[in-house]
Amino acid sequence: MKTKRIVSFRQAARFELRGVAFILFLCALLSLSACSQKEPRPSIPLITSEPPTTARPTEPPDAKLDKMISDMTLEEKVGQMFFARCPDTNAAEAVSQYHIGGYVLFGQDFFNKTKEEVVGNIQSYQQAADIPLLIGVDEEGGDVVRVSDNMYFSDTPFASPKNNYLSGGWDAVQTTETAKAEMLTSIGVNVNLAPVCDVVSDPNAFMYSRSFSDKTDEVSEFVTKVVSIASEHHLGSVLKHFPGYGNNVDTHTGIAVDERELGDLQTNDLPPFQKGIDAGADCVMVSHNIVNCWDSKTPASLSPTVHQYLRKDMKFDGVIITDDLVMEAITQYTGSDTSAVAAAKCGNDMLCCSDLETQYPAVLSAVQNGDIPEKQVDESVKRILKWKQKLGLISEKTSDRL
């Protein structure tokens, strides 16, 4: 009995001590809680009503482009409208002098040059530009091969699309157009002035060898494939020569008149252009033919009626560009000093010319004296910058260079 009493006492004491310890533990917890309420831990950030700066949505593309345009001088905006032929000398200097939108390279820019030399030249042009340049070539295949004609770039020049298809079908078209895109983008070219959308049936016609087919559906499918392949490689496409050469004569050597009815154009010639637009092409080149059903007095490239049809009826909201303004069909019509002004006034966004030093001051002066509204220039520049943005040429830091 005595032993049991002793054990009971010890147990009671042990229980009492445990109870005291538990009470002290609770007091300690309450004390810590009170301290934490008075002074929050510095390692835990306070929650505010403003989200972190990095979490804010990025500026919409249109707003960024509008800001870029508002920060540009008039000289810079006018320069963006020129897709000029690359000069033989001082090409980099001309980029910064005229603020041009892009250079078109011809055979002479590749002749007897290694790939490294061409890449170096193109990089020097880009380094001179505040806004990255469109660098374009005519690499159609067949009669028009600016790059693949050089042995340093290709063992054999690309065949014409027509012959390529006849020898290997659509698989050959797919393979060749992919090879073109890879070759061009590898050297810094970001625009191929192709595909040719003209539907030509007369073997003696100027555009016959360059056209894909005399069947509208086949040309439409070809154009769709070319534009899609180029887009996959971030290579710009130019649909040419709107509204379609047909069987007309060469505008390089003189004025050409197209007598076809509008219904004929809508059935035979316009569908390939529409398919190209629907496939995502960002640029349409307008020919120098006088198209009587629209405007019997003015070459298509200088006709507001033709441009309005392209905008309103075909719903094209991309860049409209002229064929080269030194071609005889234009110089015989306007003279050599005013062609770019006439082309800008009627609605062309970009002006393709080989005499930049003459045409740039003329257009700049026309805007300064109000002959060409500056608002129209702004609209053209925005389309051009959108194209460059789509090609990945305009980054978040581009506007900081202006």
Residue tagged active-site, from 149, 214, 250, 252: 252
Q: Active-site residue 250, yes or no?
A: no
Q: How many CA atoms lie within 13 A of 360 on its CB side?
A: 23
Q: Which of 390, 369, 345 is nearest to 81 (CA)?
A: 345
CB-based burial label for 71 (10 Å; 0-12, 13-18, 19+): exposed
Contacts of 150 (CB under 8 A, 6+ apart): 110, 111, 112, 113
Q: Is the dihedral of CA 157, 161, 162, 164 positive or negative?
A: positive
Distance of CA 50 to the CA centre of its chain: 37
Residue tagged active-site, from 323, 324, 349, 355: 323
Contacts of 98 (CB under 8 A, 6+ apart): 79, 82, 84, 356, 360
Estimate the share of the chain in helix, then strand, then coil, as percent rounded to the nearest 5. Answer: 50, 10, 40
Q: Which of 308, 354, 304, 357 is nearest to 331 (CA)?
A: 354
Strand spans (E) along 51-116: 82-85, 102-105
- Written as one letter, the residue type at 179 is A
Question: Running DSSP on this structure, what letter comes out for residue 353?
Answer: E
Angstrom CA distances, 284 to 10, 184, 350, stand at 101, 20, 10
- Termini Cα distance of the chain: 102
Q: Active-site residue 252, yes or no?
A: yes
β 82-85/102-105 pair status: parallel
Tokens 């290709």, located at residue: 154
Per DSSP, what are the bridge partners of residue 144? 141
If phi over 0 gives left and psi between -120 and 50 gives alpha, with beta otherwise, what is residue 192? beta
Q: Which residues are catalytic?
A: 252, 323
